[in-house]
Chain A
Amino acid sequence: DTEVTQTPKHLVMGMTNKKSLKCEQHMGHRAMYWYKQKAKKPPELMFVYSYEKLSINESVPSRFSPECPNSSLLNLHLHALQPEDSALYLCASSRTALAGGYTFGSGTRLTVV
């Protein structure tokens, strides 16, 4: 298995809703990442997990809450989002935080209404 799987593919949520994005990989990678990508812009790094521990938070607002329950799973919990948070959310993994290329998922297209 050489893929990163993200669910759901599309999500529409209201500003008072709570939702979660899920990411899964079975390549034995020990680093996982969340990126946010707005239309026509490059991906922006949000969080880095290394060996299931949060190692980098790129000053992301607390309405985004990451979680890494085990080495294969990465979640992003969403609460009280704003319309400007609408974007493509990408998950990626790599062998470790310092080694190997990144494998990206296809992303979750999030719309906040």
Chain B
Amino acid sequence: DAKTTQPNSMESNEEEPVHLPCNHSTISGTDYIHWYRQLPSQGPEYVIHGLTSNVNNRMASLAIAEDRKSSTLILHRATLRDAAVYYCILRDGNTGKLIFGQGTTLQVKP
């Protein structure tokens, strides 16, 4: 299972942009890059995913490096409700398995 590396924790100020980095140097050509977040006492929530091109949706943007060995999740204006554990995951292109790593705990300060 391909592995990802994320910082253990990050802090942000409310209403400022947040850039959450993820390294995945062993990514294979068929692996999709997925991001999920988990708020306290809830199940994980899908945020965004992509393969090669940058992606935008109502929640966030995903910037993927040209060599695909790293990616960045961008929250454009952090709110207190964005405080969560953010998981960057490589979804195995052959099996579809989603294997979680340790994630980044994001704190948002008012």
B65 within 8 A of partner (CB): no
- Residues from chain A with Cβ under 8 Å of B36 in the complex: 102, 104
- Chain A, interface size category, equals 20 to 34
A101 within 8 A of partner (CB): yes
Given contacts A56-B95, A102-B36, contact A107 B43 (CB under 8 A): yes
Mostly, the B contact residues are loop
- Residues from chain B with Cβ under 8 Å of A14 in the complex: none
**In the complex, are the beta carbons of B96 and A104 less than 8 A apart?**
no
**In the complex, are the beta carbons of B87 and A102 less than 8 A apart?**
no
Query: Using an 8 Å CB-CB cutoff, how does the interface string of B91-109 with A read, 1 for contact, 0 for none?
Result: 0010111111111000000
- Residues from chain A with Cβ under 8 Å of B95 in the complex: 48, 56, 97
- Minimum Cβ distance to chain A for residue B14 (Å): 25
- Residues from chain A with Cβ under 8 Å of B46 in the complex: 101-104
- Minimum Cβ distance to chain A for residue B97 (Å): 6
**Residue of A4, A97, A101, A103 with most partner-chain B CB within 10 A:** A101
Given contacts A42-B87, A56-B95, A98-B93, contact A104 B43 (CB under 8 A): yes
In the complex, what distance in Å separates the CA atom of A22 from the CA atom of B64? 37
Those 10 A-B pairs whose CB atoms lie nearest each other, nearest first: A104-B43, A42-B100, A101-B46, A97-B96, A98-B96, A104-B44, A106-B43, A43-B100, A90-B43, A107-B43
25 contacting pairs across A/B (C-beta < 8 A): A4-B43, A31-B96, A42-B100, A42-B101, A42-B102, A44-B100, A45-B97, A45-B99, A48-B95, A50-B96, A90-B43, A92-B43, A96-B96, A97-B95, A97-B96, A101-B34, A101-B46, A101-B49, A102-B46, A104-B43, A104-B44, A104-B45, A104-B46, A106-B42, A106-B43
